Amino acid sequence: ATFDELHRPQFHFTPPAGWMNDPNGMVYHNGEYHLFYQHNPDSTVWGPMHWGHAVSKDLVSWEHLPIALYPDSLGTIFSGSAVIDKNNTSDLGTKDNPAMVAIYTYHNAEGEKAGRNDYQTQGVAYSLDNGRTWTKYKANPVLKNPGIKDFRDPKVSWYDKGQKWIMTLAVKDHISFYSSKNLLNWTKESDFGADIGGHGGVWECPDLFTLPIAGTNEEKWILIVNINPGAPNGGSGTQYFVGEFDGKNFVLDNNFKAQLTGQSTTPGTVKKGEGIWLDYGKDNYAGITWANVPETDGRRLFIGWMSNWQYANEVPTQNWRSATTVARTLTLENTPAGLRVASQPVKELQNIYATTHKLTAQTVTDALNISEKLSLNTPTFETNLELELAGGVGGFAVELANSKNQRILIGYDAAGNRYYIDRTQSGPSSFSKDFAGIHYAPRIATGSKFLVKLLVDVASVELFADNGKTVMTEIFFPDEKFTRLRLIPNKGQVKLNAGTVTELKSIWN
């Protein structure tokens, strides 16, 4: 692989060649973060799914490894999760060398073609050598299909209180919870969600875990549910629910409310049709979190697929398709809008920091040409801007541009109290009618001060506003890299209280 193609991300994970979609089986083990992923090695479009594989010591730099799971007589290998079976409940390893166990969906394309409904089942494979080689369990599938077409993407975690494994499974328009003592025999516990949340499409790739409410010792359960289509800006998106889980049922928390503006006139707990989204940009899908992160670390670590099924197969990359988001730390915040999950890039991103440039505090009346002022000429950087708006000001935008007048705007619209990304002029977009557009996200934080963190790579921008309370992720494919950076006030003045731009090194050399 060359990794210097026009649109190749420099600090986001991409497969060396071929197609990638969902991240799968993320698990920490013996000093390594594993990342498996939906992979078609023989083509740059979706096809027979394998699990590709990579490892990292810091969640930032990745080493590509050989394909972990190949299709077999039961089907191709769809999305799923991995755990470390420390107590050897499955007897697939030993207590001294516990098995890394992958639980995934078999997709039987012949069954689908034959018009059957039961072509998705759950299977198990295990590794005794840090994920380097894999054995399929001899009695697969471990969970048969009850006659429902969409029955997939098992996320398994250990429920300590009940000393059992819980499988969170996406079943068409709801989540089904199963439990097991040994990862091999599964019993149905309950269903959740057919009458709650976003339902514009099929539910996929769920996750279930706890987070403390920031600043307290109180824990809540978070249920992530990816959905396609039906996202707030179209196509694929990641919604979540905050509540309680008792080993059997998931119930919503009273303080998990619908959006104050826009989606609901009477804010109460989220009802059917009212989704709350982890990321309001168009390009963060199928994300779930790492298993087995050491308790001494304590973080809940997330990664998503940086694309959207509306155009994932058509984007104009070269010999590969798709990247992941940066790895993110999730926290639970008590906000005026109710309990909300916030995301921030992992702190290890510092490992690729090059030079940091400081901007002087100033009042910006016309556009401030940041890249010119700082003599910057890089398409890969992080910028942190502390901005202040006086009343009556329309908002602001950060512009990324090239010499061909192609550009993308990441901004805040005061009238609508919303952030936005405008990629109507970001370069070629004729590959899909759903690509160019202006996409919006509600502001959750309040007050006249704005913290704007942007991660800019060759083909993507990630906005973490107000300490990650509002997040937007979007991709772009300009004919020339975006290296120009400007801050543009909208109707009035914007105070820049502080600002930095940090150049980021490539993870590939």
For the bound state, the minimum distance from the C-beta of residue 47 to ligand FRU, rounded and expressed in Å, comes to: 9
Q: Which residues are within 8 A (CB) of 346 and not within 5 positions of it... i.e. 6 or more apart?
A: 59, 60, 299, 301, 326, 327, 328, 329
- Interface residues toward ligand FRU, by CB under 6 A: 21-22, 38, 49, 78-79, 105, 152-153, 204-205, 286
22 given a catalytic annotation: yes
In the complex, the smallest distance separating the C-beta of residue 104 from ligand FRU, rounded to whole angstroms, is 8
Rounded Cα distance, 118 and 138, in Å: 20
370, containing H or E segment: helix 370-373
Which candidate in 4, 22, 283, 479 is catalytic? 22
Tokens standing for residue 252: 């919503």
Nearer to ligand FRU, 286 or 414 (CB): 286
Q: Measured from the CB atom, is 21 or 426 closer to ligand FRU?
A: 21
Shortest distance, CB of residue 312 to ligand FRU, whole angstroms?
Answer: 9
Q: Which of 41, 100, 97 is nearest to 65 (CA)?
A: 41
Three-state SS at 348: helix
Other residues' Cβ atoms within 10 Å of the Cβ of residue 260: 15
Q: Is 23 within 8 Å of 303 (Cβ atoms)?
A: yes
> Residue 38 Cβ, how far from ligand FRU at the closest point, in Å?
4
Q: Closer to ligand FRU at the Cβ: 204 or 333?
A: 204
Residue 323: closest CA among 19, 90, 79: 19
Nearer to ligand FRU, 125 or 252 (CB): 125
Apex CA 284: angle with CA 156 and CA 294, to 5°?
40
Whose CA is closest to 83, among 240, 210, 222, 207? 207
| Cα-Cα-Cα-Cα dihedral sign, residues 43, 45, 51, 53 | positive
Token reading at 477: 């494919």
Rounded CA gap, 377 and 481, in Å?
A: 10
63 - beta bridge partners? 55
Task: Output 38 or 460, the one with its CB closest to ligand FRU.
Answer: 38
Structure tokens at 318: 């070269």
Closer residue to ligand FRU, CB minimum distance, 9 or 23: 23
Catalytic positions are 22
